[in-house]
Amino acid sequence: MTTWLGLDAGHADPRTADDTAVALYESLLFHAHVVCVHAVEGHHAISFRLTDDPSENTVSTLLERGYGVAVHNGGLQRLAGPDHLTRGALRAALAHRDRREGRALRFPGRRSLRGRHGVSDILAFSAIEEVLPHGIKSVDARGDLQPCFLDGRLVLVCPEP
Protein backbone atom coordinates (compact mmCIF):
# COMPACT_ATOMS: atom_id res chain seq x y z
CA MET A 1 0.00 0.00 0.00
CA THR A 2 1.15 3.54 -0.68
CA THR A 3 0.07 6.56 1.31
CA TRP A 4 0.69 10.21 0.51
CA LEU A 5 0.96 12.58 3.46
CA GLY A 6 0.56 16.27 2.74
CA LEU A 7 1.52 18.90 5.30
CA ASP A 8 1.01 22.65 5.18
CA ALA A 9 2.27 25.20 7.68
CA GLY A 10 1.98 28.15 5.31
CA HIS A 11 5.74 28.50 4.61
CA ALA A 12 6.24 31.63 2.51
CA ASP A 13 9.91 30.88 1.85
CA PRO A 14 10.88 27.75 -0.12
CA ARG A 15 14.12 27.36 1.87
CA THR A 16 12.15 27.17 5.14
CA ALA A 17 9.85 24.56 3.59
CA ASP A 18 12.91 22.59 2.42
CA ASP A 19 14.52 22.72 5.86
CA THR A 20 11.26 21.71 7.53
CA ALA A 21 10.70 18.80 5.13
CA VAL A 22 14.21 17.43 5.68
CA ALA A 23 13.96 17.87 9.47
CA LEU A 24 10.65 15.98 9.54
CA TYR A 25 12.14 13.25 7.33
CA GLU A 26 15.17 12.90 9.61
CA SER A 27 13.13 12.76 12.81
CA LEU A 28 9.48 11.78 12.49
CA LEU A 29 8.98 10.51 8.93
CA PHE A 30 12.31 8.75 8.27
CA HIS A 31 10.53 5.84 6.55
CA ALA A 32 9.31 8.07 3.69
CA HIS A 33 10.43 7.02 0.21
CA VAL A 34 10.03 10.41 -1.45
CA VAL A 35 9.88 13.88 0.13
CA CYS A 36 8.67 16.85 -1.95
CA VAL A 37 7.99 20.56 -1.62
CA HIS A 38 5.13 22.09 -3.60
CA ALA A 39 4.13 25.64 -4.49
CA VAL A 40 0.54 25.94 -3.22
CA GLU A 41 -1.64 29.05 -3.27
CA GLY A 42 1.26 31.50 -2.88
CA HIS A 43 3.21 29.51 -0.30
CA HIS A 44 4.89 26.10 0.06
CA ALA A 45 3.55 22.79 1.36
CA ILE A 46 5.30 19.44 1.87
CA SER A 47 4.46 15.87 0.89
CA PHE A 48 5.79 12.42 1.77
CA ARG A 49 5.25 9.09 0.01
CA LEU A 50 4.96 6.39 2.67
CA THR A 51 4.46 2.63 2.55
CA ASP A 52 1.61 2.82 5.06
CA ASP A 53 -0.55 5.32 6.91
CA PRO A 54 1.18 7.46 9.53
CA SER A 55 0.45 6.44 13.12
CA GLU A 56 -2.04 8.34 15.25
CA ASN A 57 0.89 9.55 17.37
CA THR A 58 2.60 10.95 14.28
CA VAL A 59 -0.56 12.74 13.12
CA SER A 60 -1.15 14.10 16.64
CA THR A 61 2.42 15.40 16.80
CA LEU A 62 2.02 17.15 13.44
CA LEU A 63 -1.29 18.71 14.51
CA GLU A 64 0.28 19.92 17.77
CA ARG A 65 2.97 21.61 15.69
CA GLY A 66 0.27 23.50 13.77
CA TYR A 67 0.27 21.67 10.45
CA GLY A 68 -2.67 21.14 8.18
CA VAL A 69 -2.58 17.38 7.52
CA ALA A 70 -3.90 15.35 4.58
CA VAL A 71 -3.56 11.56 4.46
CA HIS A 72 -4.49 9.91 1.18
CA ASN A 73 -3.99 6.21 0.43
CA GLY A 74 -5.78 5.86 -2.87
CA GLY A 75 -9.31 5.87 -1.59
CA LEU A 76 -9.45 6.89 2.04
CA GLN A 77 -8.71 10.50 2.77
CA ARG A 78 -8.22 12.16 6.14
CA LEU A 79 -7.97 15.89 6.68
CA ALA A 80 -7.06 17.43 10.01
CA GLY A 81 -5.89 20.76 11.34
CA PRO A 82 -6.75 24.36 10.46
CA ASP A 83 -9.05 24.58 7.41
CA HIS A 84 -6.89 27.14 5.60
CA LEU A 85 -3.93 24.72 5.81
CA THR A 86 -5.68 21.42 5.07
CA ARG A 87 -6.48 22.63 1.52
CA GLY A 88 -2.78 23.14 0.80
CA ALA A 89 -1.87 19.85 2.46
CA LEU A 90 -4.38 17.99 0.30
CA ARG A 91 -3.18 19.73 -2.88
CA ALA A 92 0.41 18.71 -2.05
CA ALA A 93 -0.56 15.09 -1.32
CA LEU A 94 -2.58 14.80 -4.55
CA ALA A 95 0.11 16.51 -6.69
CA HIS A 96 2.62 13.98 -5.31
CA ARG A 97 0.25 11.05 -5.85
CA ASP A 98 -0.44 12.11 -9.43
CA ARG A 99 3.26 12.99 -9.99
CA ARG A 100 2.22 16.23 -11.67
CA GLU A 101 4.16 18.75 -9.58
CA GLY A 102 6.68 18.89 -6.75
CA ARG A 103 10.41 19.25 -6.16
CA ALA A 104 11.90 16.07 -4.68
CA LEU A 105 14.33 16.61 -1.79
CA ARG A 106 14.62 12.91 -0.90
CA PHE A 107 14.13 10.01 -3.31
CA PRO A 108 15.48 6.48 -3.85
CA GLY A 109 19.10 6.51 -5.02
CA ARG A 110 19.81 10.11 -4.00
CA ARG A 111 22.54 9.20 -1.52
CA SER A 112 24.60 7.41 -4.14
CA LEU A 113 24.66 10.48 -6.39
CA ARG A 114 27.82 12.28 -5.32
CA GLY A 115 30.38 13.54 -7.81
CA ARG A 116 30.05 13.32 -11.59
CA HIS A 117 27.75 10.62 -12.96
CA GLY A 118 26.75 9.58 -16.43
CA VAL A 119 23.10 10.11 -17.25
CA SER A 120 22.68 6.36 -17.87
CA ASP A 121 23.87 5.64 -14.29
CA ILE A 122 21.53 8.26 -12.83
CA LEU A 123 18.61 6.70 -14.67
CA ALA A 124 19.64 3.14 -13.71
CA PHE A 125 20.41 3.66 -10.04
CA SER A 126 17.99 6.33 -8.84
CA ALA A 127 14.30 7.16 -9.03
CA ILE A 128 15.07 9.88 -11.60
CA GLU A 129 13.38 8.89 -14.87
CA GLU A 130 14.60 11.57 -17.25
CA VAL A 131 17.43 14.10 -17.47
CA LEU A 132 16.99 17.33 -19.43
CA PRO A 133 18.18 18.76 -21.70
CA HIS A 134 18.29 15.62 -23.84
CA GLY A 135 21.77 14.83 -25.11
CA ILE A 136 23.57 15.76 -21.91
CA LYS A 137 26.11 13.01 -21.14
CA SER A 138 26.95 13.53 -17.45
CA VAL A 139 25.81 15.47 -14.41
CA ASP A 140 27.91 16.98 -11.63
CA ALA A 141 26.08 15.88 -8.50
CA ARG A 142 28.32 17.69 -6.01
CA GLY A 143 25.31 19.60 -4.80
CA ASP A 144 21.97 18.26 -3.76
CA LEU A 145 20.05 17.12 -6.84
CA GLN A 146 16.40 18.14 -6.73
CA PRO A 147 14.44 16.61 -9.59
CA CYS A 148 10.82 17.64 -10.13
CA PHE A 149 7.69 15.81 -11.14
CA LEU A 150 6.74 16.74 -14.70
CA ASP A 151 4.06 14.93 -16.69
CA GLY A 152 4.07 11.93 -14.34
CA ARG A 153 7.86 11.47 -14.36
CA LEU A 154 10.64 12.45 -11.94
CA VAL A 155 12.81 14.72 -14.11
CA LEU A 156 16.19 16.28 -13.39
CA VAL A 157 16.57 19.57 -15.25
CA CYS A 158 20.22 20.56 -15.63
CA PRO A 159 21.52 23.99 -16.54
CA GLU A 160 22.35 24.41 -20.22
CA PRO A 161 26.08 23.83 -20.82
pLDDT, residue 143, reads 63
Q: pLDDT value at position 116?
A: 86
Q: How far apart are CA 99 and CA 92, in angstroms?
A: 10
pLDDT of residue 157: 93
One domain, residues 92 and 131: no
Compute CA distances 121 → 62, 114, 125, 130, 154, whole Å. 37, 12, 6, 11, 15
Same domain, 80 and 38: yes
Identify whether residues 121 and 89 lie together within a single domain.
Answer: no
Which residue segment(s) compose the domain that 139 sits in? 110-157
One domain, residues 74 and 134: no
Per residue of the chain (161 residues), give pLDDT as tens. Answer: 899 999 999 999 999 999 999 999 999 999 999 999 999 999 999 999 999 999 999 999 999 999 999 999 987 789 999 999 999 999 999 999 999 999 999 999 998 888 888 999 999 999 999 999 999 999 987 667 899 999 999 999 987 66
The tally of domains found in the chain comes to 2
At residue 77, the pLDDT reads: 83
**Which amino acid, 75?**
G
Indicate whether 118 and 98 sit together in one domain: no
Residues 15, 44 within the same domain: yes
Helices (H), the chain: 14-27, 56-64, 83-98, 119-125
Residues 130 and 146 in one domain: yes
Q: State residue 161's pLDDT score.
A: 62
Q: Are 101 and 117 members of one domain?
A: no
The verdict on 145 and 70 lying in the same domain is no
Domain check: are 125 and 74 in the same one?
no
Together in a domain, 27 and 85:
yes
Q: Are residues 76 and 114 in the same domain?
A: no
